[in-house]
Structures are given as structure tokens and as C-alpha cells.
Structure 1
């Protein structure tokens, strides 16, 4: 298989030169074929030549003429294959160079042999320390590095596929299949070589389109790019462009609805918890730890011999965090002056790590809380990467979408901070960024919201009118029935 280095150092100009030579060869065969047709083959067709030799000539001369014609077809097909290869290899190499440049812009180092690594030298000392030592951040960096490795390798594979196809087609184009009219030789020139060139041309177009799809456009954000790849993938899988658009829109809408619901919940719930914190001194729990708080409390109070007492304590600590490790986060609460010893679901993991080390922080978090932190941190990293793909012109062209992407990233970052360190500051940030995201989203989709409100109002009016008419009918029916019921039967 070709390597990154093979593609980047290859010079494809010789393919173009070879294609020109084969085209010239086809033209020379055409000249020979014309001379043969006019000066040799024509002799056998006239009445002047009679006898056994004339019969043999009339049988063999068409076969020779066919070979001259087949030689032209084969030479032209070879020229076409080489010319297509030059065009395709050149374009695919450009795609690889572009992918390499995109990786570097995204903060990666790409060696001469295509090895991808994260460029820590771009970071400040404090940022570099966080990137190297924070498990969730390091995991996200490794995922990004692997993603760029896969992307570059996919670009190299397209070139390798084209190279293998060229080798196969060049071997096939010289093989005489036989069976055509006047083809009386075995192992002569291939009169069907043009079909191989046509097939190669179709394959080249497919690969070129695929490479074009994989390339990120100048006016695309990372989010737009991934959605387009998703849409293209579904379209190619199902053969339906409309289905690709529909499914992609549905998934995007579902993700948007989930994000909006999370922001609504965070804005309302954490505003309520902030109020409880300052008015009733009620400690804050980290997001997503409601189950953990209930399970740990029930396990701690479980009676000997009960079903809960048989749950392995190690399993509970792994899933929901260790209350013992959380004690490293004990501190004096500034608003009340009381000494507070947190449970696992209340612990500030930064304080725990500072007092007891990263190991204690990991134990205090537990798997459930840790997974939530990694998820929100991943969403934050993705959001930052997406914002990095914006330029000034893109922001000017679509400021509403930029505002939504910016506030959603800020909201994910605040939720990450809240998971790690539940306190009034991080809770306040979660509320503020959640409200900002909701406002930006509402503004971006104001037309759709307006249309939906208009539709809802119209339907409500129609329903109200129907209800009113139904009530009038019922009232009229009751009045009529009452009249009959209480009327004088002797009237």
C-alpha cells in the first residue's frame, strides 16, 4: 500500500508525458492503417487477382486491417488511462495537502511521513500542564489526534485505490479478448480497450467526488462539515438524497431539542438551587448525581442482612463515588462560617485533588459523574474547534448562527465546570450561559418560532370556534329538551 510519504513526494508529470506519447502512437497506427487499406487491402478486393493466393488474401487481409484498427483503440485507451491517472493523482494529492494543512490549523503536528501528534508547543505553560495531566482533556486530545490520523489515512487510501485500479486497467487493456468480427489472431491488439478506459473514467469520477466531499470547504464550520458528511453518507448508503437530508435534519433537530431542554433545566433548576444555597445554606450537588446521592445514602443506612447490605461496597464507590475520598474537599463555608464535609455528590473535585491528589478526586467522582464530565468536556472541545473554523466573513454572513454556537460552547464549558466543582460561581455561570444560549437560539430561529406561533394561534382559534359552536348546540339542545319536559301536555 502507498504511504503518506509516497504520495507527497510523487511527481505525476511523467504520466501526462506518457499519455501524449501513446496518443501519438495511435495517430501513427492510423496512418499505417490508411496506407494498408488504400494500397494493400484494396488489391484483394478487385477482379484482377484470382486464384488460391487471392482467396487467402481475401481471408487474411481483413484480419490484418482489424489489428491496425484495434492497435489504435488500444493506444488511445492507454493514453486515456494515463491522462486520467495524471488528473486524478494530482487532484487527490491536493486533497491530501489540504487535509494536512487543516490538521495543522487544528493544532496538530504532521511529520514528513504523515505521523500526527498534538502541538503542545502552541500552548502556554499552564494550558500545557492541564492538557498533559487532566485525564478528560488528554482523552479528548487523543481522540482529536486519532481523528486527524484517520482523515489523512483515508486521503492516502484514495490515492492507493486509484493506483491499484490503474495497474489493473493497464494489465487488462493489452489483453486481446478475441471474438470480434475479423479478429483472427490470438494475443493481438485489444479492440475492446475503449470499454476499459470508459469504466476507469467512471471510477475516477466517483473517487474525485468522494475526495471533494471529504474536503472541508472554506465557508464551512466544523459543524456544517460534519453534518454534510453525515448527509452524504446516508445518501450514498440509501441512494436517496431526500432521505439523507431528512435524517440529517431530524438528528440535528433532536440534538438541538436536547440542548435546549438541558439549558432550560439548568437555568431554572440552578437558579432555584442558588436561592436555596444562600437562604437555607443548602449544599449543592454536582449535575447528574441525584441517583448517586440516593444510592450512597441508602447503602450507608442499610441494615445488616438486607438486600442493599449485600451490594459490594467497591462497586458502589466505583459507580457513584467514595464519600471517604470526598472528605478531602472539606472546607469552611464562607457565607455561613460553618465547617462543611461534603459527600461524593457534593465534592469539589478541584479541592479534593488539591488536598488529596488526582487519585482521590477520581475516587470521589465515581464513574457516573466522571462520564458526565468527559461528555460535557468533549462537547466543549468540539464547540471550541467549531468556533475556530469561523472567519470574519462567515460571522458577518451568519451572525445569528455564530452567536448560537458561541453561547452553546460557553454553556457546555460552564456545565463541565459545574460537574467538576459545584459552587455558586459555577452554578451562576451555568444559569447565565444557559439563558444566553436560549436567547441566541430563539433569535436564530425567530422566523420558525413565529410561524409556529402563528400556526398554533390559528389552530387554537379554529378549535375555540368549534368548541363555542358545540357549546351553543348543547345549550340549544338542553333548552329545547327542557321546554318539552316542562310544557303543558294538554296544550
Structure 2
């Protein structure tokens, strides 16, 4: 395997020089082939040479000319491989150099052999002493060293894999094939099929550098497409497939966990709000995302003269949190009495009906308006993603389809609740939130199971380290809690 030092010290320019020489060689071989055709091979076509010797010479001369042609093909293919290798190695070396620069910028030292160590020389004597006596700080340093070392190793491995691929292609390009017309060397001559190896390498090079990977594949949902772009983008930028996969898994896990937590939080919060809205004294629900604006307005109204809040321009506050005057246009009869909503309670549809879209925008304010725009965009994305499914894709992964479907429904219900807070939209948010959370559990049950298994192993490992006295105490406690013990 290549080392960090070998990569950083190797003159890659020699590959480009060698590629040019191989290309020149192909041109010179072409000249030789033409001379052979016109001087030697042409003898067999003369009427003065007939008989068995002429027939044998015709076959032999054709085979020799074939070798000249195959040698040209092999030389051009070798030039292509070396040129592509030079381009790829140059890019991978830049990535390694960039990774080293980032490590140094983060406070590391990187030796000529690629070993990573924290640069304590940057610290003052007092900082070094404090770090030496801080167990957590020392652990953080070791973790940072290991992380940067792994990052550099990933760049080195990516370079080594490219080097192994080039070696394999160069070995393949010199293997003479069988069965081509006029090829009489039986696998011991020049490779007339070397162009196929070069063409395959050219395609791989093209895939690395062009934008073909940005195209959406067949049987790929919009959600899968976006996730693949993230993963492939990291892979192409770093040359490190493992790092790309790690980032993709982390991103998916983070998004899934966040979506699950958001759905459950909404279910709990809006179930409580729904119970308040449908039972006396019938508390009117507020729109999602208006908690901050509601309390900001209360603090602003009660601000003491001369305080920081008293200096906030009224126009700015209204623009951020919404206009109560505009919200009043959404007033309506509720339980036999006329209800005058605040900005957090206003039904923007009713405000628009009574006062136009401009007043609806004023009633919402920037904060709530951003929530509406974001909700509409998320719902539109979800609908677009669902349209990329076909019957076969649904059958292949019904759990994923269920999570995408309920997620879109949850996004739509949350948008409706943001626009028009009322018991109906609250109920929809609760129902779709429950469905979405359940679908996420179904879709990710394997990952959850593995996580619980690991957690159980961890707990088991930790429990085995507990002293016998604590274990005995736990048993006594269990016996006291169990009436059948």
C-alpha cells in the first residue's frame, strides 16, 4: 500500500510525460506499419509470385502487419491510462494536501510520514499545564488526533485504490487477446483489444468528472435522489467512499431522529391544545411558530421606559410578529360570542377574505409567514417525491412509501394549522403526527433494533463492572418491589 510520504513526494508530472511518449510511439509505429504494407506485404500481391510459398507469405505478412496495428492500439491505450491516472492522482493529491492544511489549521502537526499529533507548541505554558491536568481536555485532544489521522488515512487509501486500479488496467492492456482476424500470436503478441480497456477507463474518468451522476435514475424516488446527491457529492469531493457513506448515514439518522421527535412533540402538544379547544372554556388554539412572537409582544407591551425593549421600533416589531389590527379582520362568532383574534390566533384565510392578502401578510408577520412558506415548500417537495413512486417501488419497500406518504400528510396538516389554527386543523395535525411517527418506526425498525441491541450490550457491559455490593442491593430492591418474590 502507498504511504503518505510516497504520495506527497512523488513527481506526478512524469506520468504525463510518459503518456506523451506512448502517444508518440503509436505515431511512429503507424509509420512503420505503412512502410511494411507498401514494401513487404505488397510483394504477395504481385503476379510474379505464385504458389504455396506466396500463400504462406500472405498469411504471415498479414499477421505481422496486424501486430504493428495492435502495437499502435496498445500504445495509445497505455497513453490514455497514464493520462487519466495523472489527472486522477493530481486531484487526489490536492485533496490530501488540503486535508493536511485543514488539520494544521485545526491545531495539529502532521509529520512527513503523515503522523498526526496535537501541536502543543501553539499553547502558552499556562494552557499546556491546564490541559495536562484536565482529563476531559486530554481525551478531547486524543479524539481530535484520531479523527484527523483517520481523515488523512482515508485520503491516502483513496489514492492507493486509484493506484491499484491503474496497475490492474496497465496489466490488462498488455494481454494479447485471441480470435482477432490475422492475429497469429496466440496470446503472446500485442493486444489489439487494448482500446476496450482504455475506453472503460475513459468512461470511469468521465463519470468522475462530468455531471452524469446528477441525473435521476430509473426507479429512484426524489427523496432517494437527493440523498444520493449528498452521498456522491461527498465521495467526489473527497475521493473517500467510506467517508461519504458515513456522512450519508449520519445525515439520514439525524433527519429521521429529528422527524420522529418533531412528530411526537407535535402529537403531545397539539393533543393538549385540542382538549383545551373542544372543552370549556374553549381556549382558541395558536398557530405553530407563534410562541416567540406572542411572548415578545407581551414583553414589548410591558417594557419599562428607557429599557432596551422600549427602544425597539414599533414598525419592526409588527413586521416580525404580525399586526393585531390586521388580525382583527379575522374576527368571527364563536360559541355565541364575537371572537377577536390576536396575531397568533388569527385565521389567515378569514383575514384575507375580509381584508385582502396584504392584510393577511401583515397579520402573519415575517416569523409566521416564513413558517407558512416553509410548510408549503415541504409539502410540495413531499408530493413531488410521492409522484416518483411506481407500483413496483411501493411493493419493494412499503415501509418507506408509508413514511414518505404520512410525512407529506403531516407537513400539509402542519401548514394548514399554521395558516388557520382551529380544532379541525389541530385534529389533523395530531392524527397525521401519530401516523408519521408510527411509519418512521416501521421504516427504521431494523436500525432501531440494532441500536437497542447495542444499548443493551452497553448496559450489560457496564452492569458487569458494578461491584457485588451494588448488585446485591439492586436484587434486594427488586425483591421489595415484587410482591410475589
Q: Give the 5 Å matches for 1:9-158.
A: 32-34=34-36, 38=40
Task: Quote the Cα distance in structure 1 between the aligned partners of 2:260 and 2:345.
Answer: 26
Q: What does residue 126 of structure 1 align with?
A: none
Distance 1:426 1:471, change over 3 A: same
Distance 1:474 1:263, change over 3 A: closer
Q: Gaps (5+ residues) in structure 1?
A: 1-24, 41-68, 82-196, 476-491
Distance 1:29 1:439, change over 3 A: same
Q: By how many angstroms is 1:375 displaced?
A: 1.4
| SS of structure 2 residue aligned to 1:357 | helix
Q: What does residue 236 of structure 1 align with?
A: 236
Distance 1:473 1:261, change over 3 A: closer
Task: Quote the Cα distance in structure 1 between the aligned partners of 2:28 and 2:211.
Answer: 32
Task: Quote the Cα distance in structure 1 between the aligned partners of 2:224 and 2:446.
Answer: 21
Q: What does residue 412 of structure 2 align with?
A: 413
Distance 1:459 1:281, change over 3 A: same
Task: Quote the Cα distance in structure 2 between the aligned partners of 1:403 and 1:229.
Answer: 23
| SS of structure 2 residue aligned to 1:339 | strand
Q: Give the 5 Å matches for 1:473-488.
A: none
Q: Is this contact kept in 1: 2:322–2:363, CA < 8 A?
A: yes
Q: What does residue 299 of structure 2 align with?
A: 298
Distance 1:303 1:471, change over 3 A: closer
Distance 1:31 1:455, change over 3 A: closer
Task: Quote the Cα distance in structure 1 between the aligned partners of 2:395 and 2:72.
Answer: 55
Q: By how many angstroms is 1:452 displaced?
A: 3.1
Task: Quote the Cα distance in structure 1 between the aligned partners of 2:446 and 2:30.
Answer: 68
Matched, 1:313 2:327: no
Task: Quote the Cα distance in structure 2 between the aligned partners of 1:418 and 1:437.
Answer: 16
- Provide the TM-score with structure 2 as the length reference: 0.56
Post-superposition CA distance 1:37-78 (Å, at most 9, x none):
6599xxxxxxxxxxxxxxxxxxxxxxxxxxxx99x969x979
Post-superposition CA distance 1:208-258 (Å, at most 9, x none):
464542222212111111111111110011110000011011111111111
Q: By how many angstroms is 1:360 displaced?
A: 0.4
Task: Quote the Cα distance in structure 2 between the aligned partners of 1:437 and 1:474.
Answer: 42
Q: What does residue 438 of structure 1 align with?
A: 437
Q: By how many angstroms is 1:199 displaced?
A: 9.0
Q: Give the 5 Å matches for 1:280-299.
A: 280-299=281-300
Q: Is this contact kept in 1: 2:256–2:440, CA < 8 A?
A: no
Q: What does residue 267 of structure 1 align with?
A: 267
Distance 1:473 1:394, change over 3 A: closer
Q: By how many angstroms is 1:338 displaced?
A: 2.0
Task: Quote the Cα distance in structure 1 between the aligned partners of 2:288 and 2:419.
Answer: 9
Task: Quote the Cα distance in structure 2 between the aligned partners of 1:205 and 1:474.
Answer: 64
Task: Quote the Cα distance in structure 2 between the aligned partners of 1:226 and 1:267.
Answer: 28
Q: By how many angstroms is 1:28 displaced?
A: 9.6
Instruction: Number of aligned residue pairs: give it.
Output: 305
Post-superposition CA distance 1:100-150 (Å, at most 9, x none):
xxxxxxxxxxxxxxxxxxxxxxxxxxxxxxxxxxxxxxxxxxxxxxxxxxx
Question: What is the aligned-residue RMSD (CA, Å)?
Answer: 3.6
Post-superposition CA distance 1:132-174 (Å, at most 9, x none):
xxxxxxxxxxxxxxxxxxxxxxxxxxxxxxxxxxxxxxxxxxx
Task: Quote the Cα distance in structure 1 between the aligned partners of 2:428 and 2:445.
Answer: 25
Task: Quote the Cα distance in structure 2 between the aligned partners of 1:229 and 1:344.
Answer: 40
Q: Is this contact kept in 1: 2:227–2:248, CA < 8 A?
A: yes
| SS of structure 2 residue aligned to 1:380 | helix
Q: Is this contact kept in 1: 2:319–2:365, CA < 8 A?
A: yes
Post-superposition CA distance 1:362-394 (Å, at most 9, x none):
011111111112112111111111100000000
Distance 1:343 1:201, change over 3 A: same
Q: Does 393-402 or 299-308 show the bigger shift?
A: 299-308
Distance 1:296 1:454, change over 3 A: same
Q: By how many angstroms is 1:462 displaced?
A: 5.3
Distance 1:208 1:242, change over 3 A: closer
Task: Quote the Cα distance in structure 2 between the aligned partners of 1:308 and 1:447.
Answer: 51
> Which is greater in Rg?
1
Task: Quote the Cα distance in structure 2 between the aligned partners of 1:418 and 1:407.
Answer: 16
Q: Does 286-295 or 452-461 show the bigger shift?
A: 452-461
Task: Quote the Cα distance in structure 2 between the aligned partners of 1:31 and 1:453.
Answer: 71
Task: Quote the Cα distance in structure 1 between the aligned partners of 2:473 and 2:431.
Answer: 52
Q: By how many angstroms is 1:206 displaced?
A: 2.6
Q: What does residue 227 of structure 1 align with?
A: 227
Distance 1:424 1:34, change over 3 A: same
Q: What does residue 256 of structure 2 align with?
A: 256
Q: By how many angstroms is 1:31 displaced?
A: 6.1
Task: Quote the Cα distance in structure 1 between the aligned partners of 2:221 and 2:429.
Answer: 25
| SS of structure 2 residue aligned to 1:332 | strand
| SS of structure 2 residue aligned to 1:281 | coil
Q: By how many angstroms is 1:407 displaced?
A: 0.3
Task: Quote the Cα distance in structure 1 between the aligned partners of 2:76 and 2:461.
Answer: 70
Q: By how many angstroms is 1:395 displaced?
A: 0.3
Q: What does residue 393 of structure 1 align with?
A: 392
Task: Quote the Cα distance in structure 1 between the aligned partners of 2:200 and 2:436.
Answer: 49
